[in-house]
Structure 1
Amino acid sequence: MKTQIMSLFVLFILTILQIINIHGSHFQGGLITWKYKDDKVYITYKLSFTDRSCDSTAIFNKTLINVGGSFTCYQGCDGTLMSSLSYQCTDYSVDENWKYGQRTVNVTFPSTPDNFYAFGYSSCCWVNLVEGGNNWLLLATANLSIRQDNKRINSSPISSMQPVTTLKQNCSYALKIPVQDEDNDVVRCRWASSPFMDECGGVCSRLNHTILDQNNCILYINTTVTTGNYAFAIQIEDFLTHQDTLPLSSIPLQFIVHVNDNISMCDEKPSIETTGSLGSMIVIPANRMYQQTIVALSINSVISEINTVSPLGMFKSELYPYGLLTDRWYVNVTWTPTTKDIGIHIFCYTAIDVDSQESDQQCKTLKITEAQGCASNPCPNYALCTEQLNGYICTCDCGTGNNFKIGVEFDIDITKYLCDCITLNVVSIVDSVMILCKLFSFIKNSNIYLYVLIYMYACIFISQCD
């Protein structure tokens, strides 16, 4: 009798644990980035779950949603940095059953001899996976020493990735991981690992038939595997040069690849009709509205969703037919960034059809500026302005023709540029020397004093320089 009671008790406990595991298995990956500003580290975490309350109303109201878990410091500091985390929902998918949100918090780290810190987000449990799972861990590192190249403290790279990517079984894919770096550092991707410091919790194993191009951050995936969910754990790192092997920082990107066995062909997936060049950068002054129409095409099926991975505060419309036919559908997105959003953001989107085929992810870099950048014509005297990730560049364009033309450009300080064009006919050695005289006379008038030796040298060959 006692044996039967004990057996029933064990069965009851196992059943309860199974129920807890089923309802607790909800994590689908995330991303941690950080930025140094005003003696603080601003940590942005972006997380995905299946069972969080997220809809258009929550996005519009910027509702704080509890997601649990904690941030723990593993090196350079001790203990829990944050607990019982919450976020604001930014995106969700009904078809793929994910909710995605983000939040930025600031942390003051204690001073250490090497200014190196490692911190991570952990809890339990992952969604049901074919391989691995249970506890999750996303680990980031930061070196807060002043850099030798620009005399500033580094900030981490950034990335963006849909939390669930749907792929068809027995097909081949090239999955591009978008990355950017405000310091213009070299960025590489590698597999997360656990031998020295655990970076990936229960998802450190790699999917068979998958190759990671570390220099270009491209995953080559052959889906000759069992259908189901597979977790990918990637570390994104920035380096001063291509030759460096010691990263300035390391950030985690983890996401799900869902392999299905739909009956469509591998090449029958939908596509996004691109406006502008892929990977292009769009400059948006703070407090000015950005608008974009995303059009998806499916020749062999019907579009059911256009999914986005958005910056906080971006709104997406309902899905509408584009034109009279049913092969094209679209959504409109709008965003009015504030001065808090100054910097770079990666905005990505995909389309999925009713047969569960998904388009390639497309992304654009949105650069939020306090001023209007090149739109404010900051480069005088014929200079051309080109937007950059961390500012703009003024370059001289003196044109072409039969005359000898010189473009002069220099930077007295990082925000002021001058430019001029000198046009002369070159007919003799004396004329050539006169070119030097006029060129360095222009430099002299621009308060650059290193002209002196060359200017005097040029005057030796002629009687005088004006």
Structure 2
Amino acid sequence: MMLIVRSLIILLVGFRTIVHGVHFRGGTITWRPLNNTPSGSTVAVQIRERYSWNRITYPCDDATIALHGTLGGGTYVTGVSGAWSGAWTNMNTAINCTDYSVALIVSSGEHYETQTFPLNILFSIGFVNGNWLTNLVVGGNNQGWSVVCRVNTVIRPDGYINSSPIAVSLPIVYKEINIQQVHVVEMSDFDGTDTLRCRWANLSGNFNNADECDGVCYGIPGASLIEDNCTLVFTLTNAGVYAAAALQIEDYYSSSYTTPMSSVPIQFLFYGYAAPAGTCTTPPAIIGNRPNRACIGTPIGSNVTEYIIIQVYCPGHAIVDLVSSAPTGMKKSGIINSSPSSYISCVLFSFFHYFVTDVYEIILSWFPIADQYGPQSFCAGAIDTIQLQSNQWCITFLVGFESPDIIRPTMVQGSASPIGTVFQNQTIFSIQTTKSVNRPTLNGTYIYFTDATANNTLVQKFDCGWAPEVIYTGFTTIIRFPVAPWIPGHFYYVTFDSGVASGTDFCGK
């Protein structure tokens, strides 16, 4: 759901340079109709392909991105099963570079293309070739890849044409070996009522009627998958070795349906590393007012500015690189050390020292275009100088939609109630929004009531993800206090975290 938020984002950074061939590093293929209302006997469908490559084989830098330079090409997405003959035109796999990492030796990019298909057909398309990365725990030795997507123009039970889900992850995610790890793949879908699930890609007997993963099927030994929210739980055991995740994201008309309407691939890599030696091994973290997996309404042509804020907790460590998965056209600034670290000595009953942490930021800027209508996701993560990595952080822009916003109260009652002087026994407060809103899907977003007279003391906070004291009804959010905590003669103010409510336009589950 679309969250009320301001803006923030993250980054991933460089480990020491480790060279591994061959060239493929994963990818995805998705699609959507340009108009989901049936008209005539055909439909124009936009196909999106995104791949990641060995940066040595396919170089990319800031100049490449600025000049819309391409990566790959000369190979094609072809029909692999179903009624594709006569409907599908082979699509070149040349992509415009959008991201790169020097330290991780990876280049990524995407390409959009529109084709016209007959209504009421099903077929699968795939990018099938070789070779994958050699240094894989499963599927090494230059084995091939198979990235397969199911297209379905059959009219849905609600009378519309389906859009496929979208999944996003960083191309390479660094994880420490010999401890249990959890990784969530961001899923979204333009069709608001669909149920999304993910599963392992496999060789046969699937909805695509095709080999979906070639040499990297079940590429993470011992991993488990929570299908409803696409959460991977696993333990890597080999330092210096990669593990490939090959998943299919599928959309169902409702939770009672057993056959998906479409199936899209997402393939990416984990890299295992041993815990680094040293006195401080706390990884960096992404901080700020954008929660992970937030969804923000973003009008077409609007000037989007987001801030990636990273905090480093270990003395002498720095953020050194960025690995990301960004929409076409999004620009990233350099890494800015906005709050240099220092040591401070204090005297109480004895001397002690404490470390004031470094804070880094990267500024993102973007003007979304009409071709990017619908969910557009950004993911990033940060690595410091001794290979400690933050968790992946993702955010989804719902292009073509406005986010709901709080109507700023004035001394005229209506937009918020009560305002001005309130009674000591007042227990019910309300606030109006510009659009109808629901409870957010994520916990950890709060409304705060603070006593300004008592040195800004927190009086009460409510977690809007679950607190029964917060009620959402149309354009109004109501907060009920069990007991009035107000002190006569004191001044109070109310603040809201980003994402305290979700719009009714859909972004993801």
Q: Is 1:320 equivalent to 2:336 in the alignment?
A: yes
Instruction: Pick one of 296, 312, 317 that aligns with 2:310.
Output: 296
How far 1:154 moved relative to its partner? 0.3
Select the structure that is richer in helix: 1
**Residue of structure 1 in register with 2:457 after alignment:** none
**Residue of structure 2 in register with 1:178 after alignment:** 186
Compared CA separation, residues 400 and 53, structure 1 to 2 (3 A): closer
How far 1:264 moved relative to its partner? 4.8
How far 1:281 moved relative to its partner? 1.8
Query: Tell me, what secondary structure is at the counterpart of 2:435?
Result: strand
8 A Cα contact 1:169 1:227, kept in partner: no
Instruction: Pick one of 18, 22, 27 that aligns with 1:25.
Output: 22
**Residue of structure 2 in register with 1:426 after alignment:** none
Q: Is 1:37 equivalent to 2:34 in the alignment?
A: yes
**Residue of structure 1 in register with 2:130 after alignment:** 124
Q: Is 1:272 equivalent to 2:286 in the alignment?
A: yes
Query: Tell me, what secondary structure is at the counterpart of 1:268?
Result: coil
| CA displacement 1:191-231 (0-9 Å, x = unmatched) | 00012321111111332231111111100111234530111
Q: Is 1:78 equivalent to 2:157 in the alignment?
A: no
Instruction: Pick one of 321, 324, 333 that aligns with 1:308.
Output: 324
Q: Is 1:334 equivalent to 2:365 in the alignment?
A: yes
**Aligned equivalents of 1:83 and 1:400: distance in 2?**
53
**Residue of structure 2 in register with 1:423 after alignment:** none
8 A Cα contact 2:170 2:268, kept in partner: yes
Which one has the largest radius of gyration? 1
**Residue of structure 2 in register with 1:192 after alignment:** 201
8 A Cα contact 2:118 2:153, kept in partner: no
Instruction: Pick one of 168, 176, 194 that aligns with 1:168.
Output: 176
The one-letter code of the counterpart of 2:388 is Q
Q: CA RMSD in A?
A: 3.0
How far 1:358 moved relative to its partner? 1.5
The one-letter code of the counterpart of 1:232 is A
How far 1:103 moved relative to its partner? 0.4
8 A Cα contact 1:156 1:181, kept in partner: yes
**Residue of structure 2 in register with 1:365 after alignment:** 396
8 A Cα contact 2:79 2:124, kept in partner: yes
Runs of 4 or more consecutive aligned structure 1 residues displaced over 4 Å after TM superposition:
264-267, 372-377, 380-384, 396-401
8 A Cα contact 2:405 2:434, kept in partner: no
Q: In terms of mean alpha carbon deviation, does 226-235 or 25-34 score higher? A: 226-235
**Aligned equivalents of 2:477 and 2:406: distance in 1?**
21
Q: Is 1:140 equivalent to 2:141 in the alignment?
A: no
How far 1:363 moved relative to its partner? 1.2
The one-letter code of the counterpart of 1:333 is L
8 A Cα contact 2:223 2:233, kept in partner: yes
**Residue of structure 2 in register with 1:65 after alignment:** 71
**Residue of structure 2 in register with 1:94 after alignment:** 102
**Aligned equivalents of 1:28 and 1:397: distance in 2?**
47
8 A Cα contact 1:385 1:394, kept in partner: no
**Residue of structure 1 in register with 2:435 after alignment:** 385
**Residue of structure 2 in register with 1:443 after alignment:** none
Query: Tell me, what secondary structure is at the counterpart of 2:133?
Result: coil
How far 1:91 moved relative to its partner? 0.6
**Aligned equivalents of 2:398 and 2:73: distance in 1?**
29
Runs (5+) with no aligned partner, structure 1: 1-21, 402-413, 416-466
Compared CA separation, residues 23 and 122, structure 1 to 2 (3 A): farther
8 A Cα contact 2:437 2:475, kept in partner: no
The one-letter code of the counterpart of 2:71 is I
Q: Is 1:212 equivalent to 2:225 in the alignment?
A: yes
8 A Cα contact 2:199 2:225, kept in partner: yes
Larger relative contact order (Cα-Cα within 8 Å, sequence gap ≥ 6): 2
TM-score by length of 2: 0.67
Length, aligned pairs only: 372
Query: Tell me, what secondary structure is at the counterpart of 1:202?
Result: helix
The one-letter code of the counterpart of 1:329 is Y
Q: In terms of mean alpha carbon deviation, does 222-231 or 236-245 score higher? A: 222-231
**Aligned equivalents of 2:179 and 2:281: distance in 1?**
9
**Aligned equivalents of 1:376 and 1:229: distance in 2?**
46
Instruction: Pick one of 227, 231, 248 that aligns with 2:244.
Output: 231
How far 1:108 moved relative to its partner? 2.5
| CA displacement 1:140-184 (0-9 Å, x = unmatched) | 1122111112x1100001121110111111122110100011102
The one-letter code of the counterpart of 1:56 is D
Runs (5+) with no aligned partner, structure 2: 1-18, 36-42, 342-356, 408-413, 416-431, 439-471, 481-503
**Aligned equivalents of 2:403 and 2:137: distance in 1?**
49
The one-letter code of the counterpart of 1:303 is I
